[in-house]
Chains A and B, each alone.
Chain A
């Protein structure tokens, strides 16, 4: 039963890491997807970074094969990164080629380091989620296929991170990445009076951020379509308020998010496309839009400029002009925080 806590730190660290813990002095990327870290003792540690299947969802069969490779190539240890990549740490440099071949045989690509397209982070989507307005793993796969060359080589001005979240809860953290695809609902929660009666109605009323939900006597609620912002807060609290419809669900695309403090510092992505329909299994409009933005960025950005920093330099008006993406009323923020994105000065890029 609970209470035993997490395993001791040392228990799962590769021997080369244990020997050089806290002693690393420099790093390099000798070839795409391969990192070299050098310790103050002079010892070099080679890491092979591997893209995982969408959502890092793996069968135990594949996980066991990966374990087997770790046993043979990296002293029996492996690591998962924050971006759902697999890292084999401490690989003998003479055997990297052999390892990459074996990974390829499993269908796992090596790449996604430094100035390249990094592994896509996405949530579980339709595989296993009630909220999902779109299928994040399928979109992640389609985008990864389209930007495949960028994953395997280092030709971008800076790193490119793409995240796909299937709904506004953003387990797939779409707002945080250079390009974020976020699933959106546009219909209202469907109120089932009988089921709602079993739920905690005061909590449903309180959790609605815009006060769109009002009590409906004797024991149900009603949703004001003018106030509803489709945030699914109520959907998570009550079994009687499902949302979503194949005809109205879709995705929005946000651009320019990053966490690092370089350039303009941390920022969330900003809306560039408010709605694209769900077109499984390959979402061609989404892939095309992402390509269009990436191609322009690669052509125009200076070295070390992430997408957000590039747009800050050229200005959003020029971004829309150059990409040809239409600007609409939906790009203007109508929520309480709207003054943060509205312009005050008159220093325009004409």
Chain B
């Protein structure tokens, strides 16, 4: 099929989509063939991966066994949504594959109009920049939202990505309906002794200071200072210099509405709540907020409308009100310049705005 595609300069696959089978509402995609004489359709199953996409060789070996036994022996490690996909399973064996995966401690899901699999960065497992426990948050998220990953019920898909710091290695701000990005509020910490060692070894701190986006750093050739009021906590100096470390007042910023297509095309995430404190192991405050977001989406969005398009239609003011978020200057790059308000929406003038 692939060779045919390359020689004919066109895909040879036909219509496809996500299907639910009895007992398994999410996890399967079917795809028809436009060239049945070469290959009949090829279905695939989406497997929810372990946290941080870490695998023991033993577990990956078991996935290989299943792919060999039931399918072409071709794996997708991973899709950009962070799932393993096992390609080429005959329709009548789909349910059997799920049982086989379950026996190895793996589950399926993340298709259709459901919460999709989270994507999380490596976080505290192997990163010195991680501000939050991305793997722990992801684990707790699955404990709370697993049903919504496996039973599609929303107007459209909802994606959650968890980045441990503003470096945003998971591209949460570009690709996820709900982006959780680790942030810190106090100033970066400078270790003077370590800095002297680093500079002695050839570290170019003058260059780092000159490239600081808000120009918050000053290096006089012997002493480094950071203007805490100017600092935007972007992580640049922390990435470049081991003697500068993030502060300790850490939490998570919640951004909403990013996506790459939908009605209005690519949209970046917008800040809904700039700082949510983290309360392991259940992360109740954070996940209650997420649940309020998905309820508002479920209740008010139109069918096949991504969260970003829904937001675009109703406005960040209305969305914040519906979700129950206290307005904050951190939500906006700048306040509005237009003079048209929904004064009647829940305000003193009275009357509810029609959504």
Q: Which residues of A contact B (CB under 8 A)?
A: 1-9, 11-14, 17, 21-28, 37-38, 45, 47, 52, 55-61, 63-64, 66-68, 70-71, 76-82, 84, 86, 89, 121, 123-132, 135, 138, 168-173, 175-176, 203, 206-207, 209, 231, 233, 236-237, 239, 242, 244-246, 249, 257, 259-268, 278, 280-281, 302-304, 335-337
Contacts and interface: CB of A to CB of B under 8 A. Distances in A.
Contacts of A14: 54
17 contacts: A5-B107, A14-B54, A37-B126, A57-B74, A68-B57, A70-B57, A79-B55, A80-B77, A126-B10, A129-B13, A170-B260, A176-B171, A203-B303, A206-B303, A263-B213, A278-B9, A280-B7
Contact of B125 (A21, A80, A126, A278): A21
B213 A262 contact: yes
Nearest to B118: A6
A278 to B, nearest CB: 5
Given A78-B55, A176-B174, A206-B304, A24 B168 contact: no
B6 A56 contact: no
B276 interface: no
Nearest to B124: A22
Given A26-B128, A58-B74, A76-B58, 10 more contacts: A6-B51, A17-B125, A55-B76, A57-B75, A126-B6, A173-B174, A175-B266, A203-B304, A231-B265, A239-B14
Interface stretch (B97-105, B222-230, B288-296): B97-105
B25 interface: yes
A209 B236 contact: no
A88 B219 CA distance: 38
Interface in B164-198: 166-175
Interface in B25-51: 25-27, 31-32, 42, 44, 48-51
A106 to B, nearest CB: 14
Given A7-B105, A9-B139, A281 B6 contact: yes
A21 B10 contact: no
Nearest to A260: B167
Contact of B127 (A6, A24, A130): A24
Given A27-B127, A82-B121, A130 B10 contact: no
A181 to B, nearest CB: 14
B261 to A, nearest CB: 5
Contact of A37 (B106, B127, B167): B127
A2 B60 contact: no
A28 B31 CA distance: 44
Interface string B54-80: 111111110110011000011111111
Given A5-B142, A5-B146, A337 B265 contact: yes
B286 interface: no
Pick the most buried of B17, B60, B302: most chain A CB atoms within 10 A of its CB. Answer: B60
A245 B51 contact: no
B15 interface: yes
Contact of B168 (A4, A6, A68, A261): A261
B8 interface: yes
Contacts of B50: 6-7, 9, 11-12
Nearest to B79: A171
Contact of A262 (B56, B106, B239, B261): B239
B130 A172 contact: no
A64 to B, nearest CB: 5
B23 interface: yes
A304 B204 CA distance: 12
A82 B175 contact: no
A261 B126 contact: no
Nearest to B109: A2
Nearest to B242: A26
B277 interface: no
Interface in B86-140: 87, 98-99, 102, 105-109, 119, 121-122, 124-128, 130, 133, 135-136, 139
